[in-house]
Structure 1
Amino acid sequence: MDLTRRTMIAGAAAAVAGPARARTAARRFTILRGGDDVGRHEIALTREGDTLNVAIDVEIVVRVLGIAAYRYEMTNREVWRSGLLQSVDCSVNDDGERKRVNAARNGEKIVVDASFYSGPAPSEIATTTYFTPDFLTRPRWMSTDSGELYAMSISRDGEASVRTASGEAQCARWRASNGSDFDVQLFYDANGEWASVAFDGRGEPIIYVPDSLDGRLAALWAETA
């Protein structure tokens, strides 16, 4: 793998010189399933000293003949410090199935209490929030949907043009998979800014379309990692 944590942080830090010094950053993604608008994914990062607070809200509604056939909602709050996860507080409504993920740092490990896993997680665990390409260097990820721990296989998959609300953006494309039921394509621009994610959504392709790519998410991560 030709990606290192150092090069990722350096690329993100390059964006800090201008307006990216803002202590808050937010992005809204439109979620397309088979080309149809089915929802939104909102992420906001807030820097407080050396702490990065991450707020994620997701709402998906798939309609058939105008009737809601499937609904998914997530409210996730994470705290990061020096590039390490400190806590997760996440609740999910998966078409009526309620799930939760709670995790907190205890010394050199993370203790997870979730719907599908309870126990320790590695200190440098990543989460399935994708907002920094630094996660691509980490061998273990925690699902924010279920709390399960994934042993990840990460590979570079060339370049791709990503649709945004203001035009096309050239991005590096990566594939992240646990070799089983978790398989996504992730897209980051030259500054390490998260541009999109794509995956299978019950037989139809799902792709995220960002409202902008202003460099702010990568910059805030670089300042606190």
Structure 2
Amino acid sequence: MFRSLILAAAAVATCTPLAFGAFEDGPVMPLPDAGERIVFDVYRNGDTRFGTHALSFTQDGQDLLVNIDIELRAGLGPVTVFRYEHQSTERWREGQLVGLVSETLKDGDTYEVSAQSSGEALDVQGMAPEDGPISLELPLSILPSSHWHGYRPGEYDILNTEYGNELDVTVEYLGEEMLEADGERIPARRYRLISDLTVDLWYDENGRWAGCEFEARGQTVRYVRRADPLEG
């Protein structure tokens, strides 16, 4: 379960931010305002809480900065048997990812990723456990695996912010339904991202990321949003 969770955290932390279009076009949101914050409580085995996933949005000149902090822990009594931490900062300019730095602690090992725009490309440096150092030149249109921006249905690559490699994904639109979030049930649009792990993602009527759920070794892991980011 823990290995699958780690894969999902990289994709969870898994198109250009524009106005909300038709449902099938994907939950592509307007750029958030500075000060917006999205916080999820993360549960497994039903109501067993084992961490948080938080995103905060700030302005730096003309750039949007997205700070992401994931902290997950599970244990047997006082003994910690699983620990996952991921911190990253994304820099967006005119709807494109132009910079990224991330650090991930997993199984006692630390992985770092850096990405910087250079002309019409994004130069990425990273490290994968099995493949070693990663050095890629990716298009500026690529999306990171942080999920807040939403995805259009289709088949394409996204940037794995844990290791710095490309992930082949298929995204499907599953329809509109009610979702537990913000201390109530809200209407949300559901999408399925299929890659190393299948992850269901929900976005609210304003396009903000509202929920996440996936299966891992017979257990359901789900994200429950604490509050509407537009209401503070």
Aligned pair count reads 206
- What are the residue-to-residue correspondences of 1:57-136 with 2, within 5 Å? 57-116=69-128, 117-133=134-150, 135-136=151-152
- The residue number in structure 1 matching 2:170 is 153
- What are the residue-to-residue correspondences of 1:18-29 with 2, within 5 Å? 22-29=33-40
Tell me the CA shift for residue 97 of structure 1.
1.9
Q: What TM-score comes out, normalization by structure 1 length?
A: 0.82
Q: Residue deviations 1:81-122, cap 9 Å, x none?
A: 111111110000012121111111111111110012321112
- The residue number in structure 2 matching 1:206 is 221
Bigger helix fraction: 1
Letter in 1 for 2:122: I
1:189 aligns with 2:204: yes
Quick one: structure 1 residues 72 and 4, their matched pair in 2 at CA, closer, same or farther if it must change by over 3 Å?
closer
Letter in 1 for 2:52: R
CA contact (8 A) 1:72 1:93 kept: yes
- CA distance, structure 2, for counterparts of residue 192 and residue 142 of structure 1: 21
- CA distance, structure 1, for counterparts of residue 153 and residue 100 of structure 2: 20
- CA distance, structure 1, for counterparts of residue 16 and residue 108 of structure 2: 40
Q: What TM-score comes out, normalization by structure 2 length?
A: 0.79
- The residue number in structure 2 matching 1:46 is 58
Q: Secondary structure at the match of 1:132?
A: coil
Quick one: structure 1 residues 4 and 123, their matched pair in 2 at CA, closer, same or farther if it must change by over 3 Å?
closer
Q: What are structure 2's unaligned runs of at least 5 residues?
A: 1-14, 23-27, 129-133
Percent identity reads 25
- CA distance, structure 2, for counterparts of residue 76 and residue 118 of structure 1: 18
Tell me the CA shift for residue 130 of structure 1.
0.9
Q: Residue deviations 1:109-155, cap 9 Å, x none?
A: 1111001232111220101111122x336832111111120222111
- CA distance, structure 1, for counterparts of residue 231 and residue 126 of structure 2: 31
CA contact (8 A) 1:4 1:137 kept: no
Q: What are structure 1's unaligned runs of at least 5 residues?
A: 218-225
